[in-house]
């Protein structure tokens, strides 16, 4: 990854299958620091349509995904910026576009599970005071999902080793 010139414009675009390698490269150092969970390539391919890519001068410098969980609820996941581009607005631009995408889809709440609490607060998220963000009938339906992100949202015991220290945050749209 290159250093961040002050004059370069961040371009956001939908991810393509050819971006999976770059997404894995962005996630790898964050996974090593236990900030993100590394996933198998097949998982990225299966969800590529959920991803946005941030580019500067044709180089991938960030990524993020929006995963719909329920009628009114989605999750921002796999938000990653190249270390050399942190603090240059890449993450902020990705979150803003992902939130716009959520509104277009009809989602009214967006969830994230993060160590980057201050960043998400600056982007309008609040710490979830009430861990039961869905009613019991929806909770029962969500339990049927095999998606690990939904299991993390529901705070199921089987995912707790992966989420220790993370903060559940939410934003109303």
Q: What pLDDT is recorded for position 91?
A: 97
- The separation between the first and the last C-alpha atoms of the chain, rounded to the nearest angstrom, is 34
Torsion sign over Cα 41, 44, 46, 48: negative
Q: What distance in Å separates the CA atoms of residue 63 and residue 66, rounded to the nearest whole number?
A: 11
Give me the average pLDDT of each 10-residue run along the chain (173 residues). 63 98 97 90 96 97 95 94 95 98 96 93 90 63 66 59 73 96
Q: What pLDDT is recorded for position 143?
A: 64
Q: What pLDDT is recorded for position 119?
A: 97
Picking from 101, 110, 103, 79, the residue whose alpha carbon sits closest to that of residue 92 is 79
Q: What pLDDT is recorded for position 124?
A: 98
Q: What pLDDT is recorded for position 22?
A: 98
pTM of the model: 0.84
Q: Is the separation of the CB atoms in 52 and 13 below 8 Å?
A: yes
Q: What distance in Å separates the CA atoms of residue 51 and residue 19, rounded to the nearest whole number?
A: 10
Q: What distance in Å separates the CA atoms of residue 138 and residue 58, rounded to the nearest whole number?
A: 42
DSSP track, 120-158: HHHTT-EE-S-S--S-HHHHHHHTT---HHHHHHTT-GG
**Residue found by looking up tokens 């934003």 in the block:** 171
Contacts 24+ apart (CB under 8 A), 130-139: 131/155, 131/168, 133/73, 133/109, 133/170, 134/70, 134/73, 138/70
**Coil, strand or helix: which one is 5?**
coil
Q: What pLDDT is recorded for position 38?
A: 86
């Amino acid at each position: 990854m290159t250093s961040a010139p002050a004059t370069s414009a961040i371009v956001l675009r939908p991810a393509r299958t050819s971006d999976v390698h770059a997404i894995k490269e962005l996630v790898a150092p964050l996974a090593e620091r236990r900030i993100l969970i590394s996933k198998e390539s097949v998982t990225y391919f299966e969800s590529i349509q959920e991803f946005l890519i941030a580019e500067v001068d044709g180089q991938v410098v960030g990524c993020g995904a929006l995963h719909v969980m329920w009628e009114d609820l989605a999750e921002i996941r796999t938000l990653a910026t190249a270390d050399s581009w942190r603090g240059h607005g890449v993450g902020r631009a990705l979150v803003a576009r992902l939130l716009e995408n959520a509104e277009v889809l009809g989602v009214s709440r967006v969830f994230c599970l993060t160590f980057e609490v201050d960043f998400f607060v600056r982007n309008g998220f609040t710490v979830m005071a009430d861990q039961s963000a869905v009613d019991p009938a929806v909770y029962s339906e969500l339990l049927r999902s095999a998606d690990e992100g939904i299991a993390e949202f529901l705070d199921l015991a089987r995912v707790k080793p992966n989420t220790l220290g993370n903060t559940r945050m939410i934003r109303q749209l």
